[in-house]
Structure 1
Amino acid sequence: MRTLIITAFVSLDGVMEAPGGEEGYRNAGWTFNQLPHDDAAYELKDIEQQEAGALLLGRHSYEAFAPVWPKMTEEFARYNELPKYVVSTQLEDHEVVENWGEISVLRSVEEVARLKETQGGPILVHGSATLGHSLAEAGLVDRYHLLVFPLLLGAGKRLFSSADQDATRLILTDQETYGNGIHKLIYDVAREGS
């Protein structure tokens, strides 16, 4: 079974919206324009890129990344090579870009569950707040890779769903704090009996 990892930049108050500057959000670009840069804080992203077996995206994140990431040949060389899966009920197969490698459209969380049963490396979910909520509610998330920024952003899409559900216990497996106040937190989702 493949490991499904949600990887996110998140503010201390749980906002994950528009960290890179996507239009339409008041605090867009908050990962780059609010704190001094510290290369060490982003080493997790390099590790993820090397270890990943596939990318899983919701439709909105796919539409934001697809025009940009294929052009970032140095920064995202490995991501650009990986198979990509987009979970969407609206995106048609013929609408996917042709310059970003293998892209498959999945129609449901159940199809994601079947993908997890295949062979291969970890499946990374970038951005994709709505998809992340659905995956967590379905019990499909195995791990969270979080870079928590010392910012309070107020309104915005949240990392975690507000659905009324049973508690999910997380096990901290790695943490580090960087000079600019960013905190790396890696949590495994506790399963029955662990």
Structure 2
Amino acid sequence: MGTISVLANICLDGVMQGPGRADEDTRGGFRHGGWGIGYADEVIAKYVGGIDPAAAMLFGHRSYDDMLGHWTSVTDPNPFTEALVNAPKYVTSRQAGTELAYPRSTLLAGEATDTVARLKDRTDGVIRVLGSGELVRSLHGAGLVDEYVLLIHPTVLGSGTRLFGAGERTDLALQETITTTTGVLIARYLTS
């Protein structure tokens, strides 16, 4: 059975929307896009690069299109493009006809909680979720997430889509923390 691990950038008030670029996600009139720029350092690079390799990556369809579209268009050398393109990728969508543009991508059509539960049952190793806030909230509500690796940035945005929405109380067990040179707190939690 696989382990679902969420890797997310959030700010102190829990917003995860649009950390990477001004135009990354402007839904709901979000105007703080790119809020995570300037916080990357060698501590984050070393930590993220040293995380157990994923057996697969899991995305919501919108995050898949955005993330792969962005990183495959970047011409400067970076550690992300090759890893994203070469990793096995699973993409959730309610639409069975959804087309996936990148290699090693498999569509999980239907309700995400059902399709991801089946994926988790048949996969050995870590299934890493990147971004994909709507998907994360759905999986969290269904009790399918095993681990959260949160990069908590020292900023408060006051608006935007948060990692966790309304729901039931969930207690998490802190496994490790690392503080970066830019004040980002890397915190890894296991679900109960």
Give the aligned partner of residue 153 of structure 2: 149
RMSD value over aligned CA atoms?
Answer: 1.8
The answer for unaligned runs of 5 or more in structure 1 is none
**5 Å matches for 1:41-190?**
41-48=44-51, 51-71=53-73, 74-76=78-80, 77-90=82-95, 92-93=97-98, 95-97=99-101, 100-106=102-108, 107-108=110-111, 109-163=113-167, 165=168, 167-190=169-192
CA distance in 1, matches of 2:13, 2:60: 22
Give the aligned partner of residue 40 of structure 1: 43
User: Is residue 16 of structure 1 aligned with residue 16 of structure 2?
Assistant: yes
TM-score of the aligned structures, taking structure 2 as reference length: 0.87
Identity %: 36
Q: Which amino acid aligns with 1:44?
A: Y
Q: Which amino acid aligns with 2:138?
A: S
Q: Which amino acid aligns with 2:106?
A: S
The answer for unaligned runs of 5 or more in structure 2 is none
SS in structure 1 of the partner of residue 50 of structure 2: helix
CA distance in 2, matches of 1:151, 1:90: 36
Moved over 3 A (4+): 70-74
How far off is 1:67 after superposition? 1.4
Q: Which amino acid aligns with 1:38?
A: D
Q: Which amino acid aligns with 1:67?
A: G
Of 30, 36, 57, the match for 1:31:
36
Which range moves more in the overlay, 114-123 or 180-189? 114-123
Residues 113 and 133 (structure 1), Cα distance of their counterparts in 2 relative to 1, 3 Å cut: same
TM-score of the aligned structures, taking structure 1 as reference length: 0.86
